[in-house]
Amino acid sequence: MSGQKTLYIDYSLCIGCETCEYVCRFTNDTSRIHMTRTIDGVMVPLYCQHCENPKCANACPRGALKRDKDGALILQSMLCRGCQTKNCILACPHSAMFETDRGVMVAKCDMCAQRRQVGMGPACVEMCPCAAIRYVDRDEISALETEKSKLAHQKVLDHLKLPGKD
Amino acid sequence: MDPMNFNFLCSEPAAPNGRSVGIIGAGPSGLAATGYLSCLGYQVEVYDKLPKPGGLMLFGIPGHRIPKERIDLGARKLERKGGVIFHTHTKICCSGPLHDEEGDHFCREILGFGDMVKKHDAIMICTGSWRSRKLGIPGENLSGVFSGLEFLFPIRAVKYSAPNVKLPDVAGKTLAVIGAGHSAVDVAHSAVHLGAAKVYLIYRRTSREAPCGAFEIEQLRQMGVEWLDRTTPLQVLGGSKVEGLEISRPGQNEAEVSVLPVDLVVTAIGETATPPFAKELGLENVRKGEVRWLHMTAIENVFVAGDALSGPSKIGKAVYSGLRAARSLANWLDLKAQDRLDAYDYNDLVTNEAGFRS
């Protein structure tokens, strides 16, 4: 599906400085991107990739996850109400649904919906010192990939152990 | 390349509000605060001892990790769009004698702190952490022993041709780098590129515990760096300059002591904060959150943020600290102008910010 925007992180460029996480926290109170690392030291910011086939939305019993006009998967908090199943958190292969103690108990990236409405891009993208995180059309991603980014991505996949991969 | 957009909170800055803020230090926290305040229409003036804004993002962390251009463009955007004025080569006197810290060689102008407080409606101190931690072993003051920052800083700074900055002379020499954080990796990496004959990377634990991660260490080994884990440096040997490093490694039963024949030793074991006037400003209290106002020092219109306040951390925390301090500063000026300082929301105090200092 072209015309859908998403976030793309080149893990080989990420230095783990946590700027994305803290800028997100300042902008949204609860951060929706979270820095971790693999055992051998590849930095892994856990982030929502606004999947084409979103497992979180499929798992949500309340239909609280809807795609907006730019392609962002939006959590409609009044439908969600931090429901007891937490199916979305379990379903997300990228560990990008966050449990929180503020407001509705689930938080996820909405690609800075409010900022987009007034013509600005996601805050993490603006402030990453390494330009490791990009706000792109889903179709553009393959052109951005490099040998290094693919290697780092593979290490991250092995680390996260996505369902359906070995 | 797009700029690192310190003005990320606005697409266009608000109309000038007639207030002036001075920010001391143009690193990540200072520039984040600058971006926030310039978006609100403040006239921001930034003072930094270095020739360019960016701090250790530019002068500490190598360019292959953080693209120099992206930081430069971010600073330029602050100037052009936010109307920010940068005073580079300028030190606000003084936490210690000049030429005490890395980067002091660049100062052409030294301004007194008192003048600053009078000139601006408020000041923010974002001076970071520039003093290197010491190992505390015999011989570490010999010529040929460097801290990570002493070693890395000139590599970036030499491009700005300050008279006292010289590239570390490592060609053909043998180096021991102590530590396994990102600075240690950067030092080892740079040393190989500068033509060192042999580089040892020495760490007291194993690659599994190394802060930089095993992957980085493996890459260094592929470049020819010799990795010595579970190794403790005991003393630096030599008369007037370094001739060797005595180390201890676990043997069969007890520790085995040996000597590495090295010409240079670089200790990359971290830095400590270097705020000016730490005592006068009561920074210890600010750190604990015992303040009237978030990020405010003992002097009413002087605020503090970033590593200068909380010690060495990551860029992200520095940015967050700068943003919060800027918000607090702006709130304070607003409420003070309206004579409503008692309307301050104390829930915003540092102490309630669980996890911030973790």
Give the model confidence (pLDDT) of A28-85 as tens digits.
Answer: 989 999 999 888 888 999 999 999 999 999 999 999 999 999 999 999 999 998 888 8
Please indicate whether residue B56 or residue B95 has the higher confidence score (pLDDT).
B56
Q: Which two tokens stand for residue B165?
A: 């900055």
Q: How confident is the model at residue A139 (pLDDT cuts 50, 70, 90)?
A: very high
What sign has the CA pseudo-torsion A40, A12, A8, B13? positive
Task: Find the closest chain B residue to A126 by CA distance.
Answer: B5
Interface test with A, best of B319, B323, B327, B328 (most A CBs within 10 A): B319
ipTM confidence: 0.93
By DSSP bridging, strand A65-67 and strand A43-46 are: unpaired
CB B210 to CB A41 under 8 A? yes
Q: Which of A23, A39, A40 sits opposite B319 (nearest CB)?
A: A23
Task: Find the closest chain A residue to B353 by CA distance.
Answer: A29
Residue with tokens 């604990």: B288
Residues pairing with B131 in the sheet: B272
Contacts 24+ apart (CB under 8 A), B332-336: B332/B122, B332/B293, B332/B296, B333/B19, B333/B121, B333/B122
- Which of A89, A108, A84, A90 shows the shortest CA–CA distance to A31? A108
CB A123 to CB B316 under 8 A? no
DSSP A105: S
Chain B residues inside the 8 Å CB shell of A15: 61, 65-66, 182
Give the model confidence (pLDDT) of B273-317 as tens digits.
Answer: 877 777 778 888 877 766 777 888 888 889 999 999 888 889 999
Cα–Cα distance measured from residue B275 to residue B291, given in angstroms and rounded to the nearest whole number: 17
Backbone angles phi, psi at A113, to 5 degrees: -55, -45
Task: Find the closest chain B residue to A37 by CA distance.
Answer: B213
Q: Would you mind telling me the total number of residues written for chain B in this entry?
A: 358
